[in-house]
Amino acid sequence: MKKLLTTLLLIAALTPCASSQDEVTFRTEAAAHAATGTFAPYYMTANKYGTVANGCGGYLRAGAFIEMDTTKRFSYAAGIDLMGIYETTSPTRRWENGVFTTINNRPQIFRIQQLYADIKYRAVFLSVGMRENAHENIFTNHRLSSGNLIISGNSRPIPQVRAGFHRFVDIPFTNGWVQLKGELAYGKFLGDNYLKDHYNYYSSFITTNIYYHYKSLYFRSNPNQPFVFTFGIEDGVQFGGDMDTYRDGVLVSSTQSPITFKSFLQAFVPSAGDETAAPGDQLFVYGNHIGSINMAAEYTFENRSQIRAYTQWLYEDGSGLNKINGFDGLWGLAYHTHRRSAVSDVVVEYIGLDNQSGAIPWQPSDWPGTQITTATSGGDDYYNNFLFNGWQQEGFGIGSPMSPSIMYNTDGYMRFLNTRVRGYHAAIQGYLHNEWQYRVMASYRQAWGTPFIPARYDLCQFASLLECTYTPAKLAGWQFCASLAVDAGNLIGDNWGISISVVKSGSLFKFNKKSDKK
């Protein structure tokens, strides 16, 4: 980690001498929230990059940035974003000296939320560090969607090295009718201390020292036509890891998965692990893969407004890739006007995570001597894995927040308790005035536990948000926001809360601009 930060600082210091950017901007924010529950209401935490968790608190945030100029052949970007956070505590049951005690955990007071350096040449980019980049997602609107199924922007950014195409490029010999965009990333999770602080040390397991891999590949038809079709695939991977298993508070086993160059190749090309990997990774595919097959169809009207239908088919293994898991995935419809009108954006989504290819997985090779020779796919248990503590970062789910993450587990159980979820989400955004913007979101979801640990009774949750943002023209760079959120149900509980924030942004300084050919 120290080497990564040193590299970032060097790149950030040197790049102004080599490119055409001429301005360093700043953004500061002061925010506070208060709620009636242990945790903040759903829409106050969802897709906020892990910045808000517990019921009451606030943060101060300050950052300096150099934005990338995508019109230039060579360009760069850099940024540092620091946060000071103070929130109320959340309880965790922990086994100590033969009895359960309650530990009150408070979020980390100071953090580096973003620290990155990016460069690009023509359409190719390289990015190093931690960056809030969910807004780059092709298929979902980060501000209005319930969340991308793989990388939603719900959790704190993961330190990583990313490379690929920052935009769609024409495939040769197609005359612009087929375009390509792809990305490849490797990194390391930050959440070891969170897991150690919140684990109950009584049963189940805790896995730390985990590595991260992500790749995506998209194809798009000619964007200059009224109708545009996009097809792609995303794949996120957890690999490596040191797993400790406890029973009645006693460490009963410890398994380490050494990281070698071969480990990175095995994460890239799904295959069984070698003799140094964990036993499960040797029998099945190395690492925990969670991915989606994505499709979108968009039509642009003569007045530039757009309507878009999209879907993400979630997969955890071969059953999901073969679409044995029914209608599981995200299905959405979005309308965008390109104008500051009373209703400028509308998003409606359905999310289904309840089929999971059936309840029972069965592989004869797992049971030597069995007379049942037929294989059965099932029990996908999205976002969970036998070796890792779920597809999460510091308690927040990396994928859709509609599946409650381990943050809500006050019993210290470090896995997702409800992966079988079915939900509905709607959002509207518009302008009451040129300076006044509003956003309204609402959702309803049901949950039934996991394929292996069903809930004892049906769980449901309603959540809503009303938000108003004031950007005064006479106060350049200032923005004021207030919101009210209400939750009702027995999945994450009844709760309501309010939040306010003040943002000031602008230019820090400018430096000499050098010429660059386009």
Compute the CA torsion angle 129, 131, 134, 137 (nearest 10 deg).
-50
Rounded mean pLDDT of 345-369? Answer: 84
Has residue 113 been placed in a domain?
Answer: yes
d(CA 382, CA 358): 12
Has residue 90 been placed in a domain?
Answer: yes
Model confidence at 514: pLDDT above 90: no
Has residue 232 been placed in a domain?
Answer: yes
Tokens of residue 237, six digits: 């991977």
pLDDT on residue 14 = 44
pLDDT on residue 9 = 45
Higher pLDDT, 202 or 13: 202
pLDDT on residue 482 = 98
- Where residue 354 falls among pLDDT bands split at 50, 70, 90? very high
* pLDDT, mean over the chain: 90
Model confidence at 323: pLDDT above 70: yes
Model confidence at 181: pLDDT above 70: yes
Has residue 217 been placed in a domain?
Answer: yes
Rounded mean pLDDT of 34-46? Answer: 97
Average the pLDDT over each of 54-63, 282-291, 304-313, 399-408 and give the range with the smallest value. 282-291
Q: Which residues pair with 228 in a beta bridge?
A: 298
pLDDT on residue 517 = 45
Task: State which residues form the domain around 170.
Answer: 2-20+42-510
Has residue 26 been placed in a domain?
Answer: no
CATH number at residue 124: 2.40.160
d(CA 319, CA 322): 5
Compute the CA torsion angle 98, 100, 102, 103 (nearest 10 deg).
50
Q: Structurally, how many domains does the chain consist of?
A: 1
Q: What is the pLDDT of residues 362-405, one digit of tens each?
A: 666 666 777 777 666 778 999 999 899 999 999 999 999 999 99
Q: Which residues pair with 481 in a beta bridge?
A: 469, 501
- Where residue 164 falls among pLDDT bands split at 50, 70, 90? very high
Model confidence at 54: pLDDT above 50: yes
Burial of 112 (C-beta count, 10 Å sphere; 0-12/13-18/19+)? middle
pLDDT on residue 444 = 98
* DSSP-assigned states of every residue in 491-513: SS--EEEEEEEEEEEEEEEE-PP
Rounded mean pLDDT of 168-186? Answer: 96
Has residue 30 been placed in a domain?
Answer: no
Average the pLDDT over each of 16-30, 315-329, 388-402, 412-426 and give the range with the smallest value. 16-30
Rounded mean pLDDT of 494-501? Answer: 98
The CA distances from residue 175 to 160, 241, 298, 507, in Å, are 35, 46, 20, 41
First to last CA, the chain: 36
Q: How far is C-alpha 260 from the chain's CA centre?
A: 26
Model confidence at 513: pLDDT above 60: no
Has residue 11 been placed in a domain?
Answer: yes
Q: What is the pLDDT of residues 441-475, one digit of tens each?
A: 999 999 999 999 999 999 999 999 999 999 999 99
Has residue 147 been placed in a domain?
Answer: yes
pLDDT on residue 462 = 98
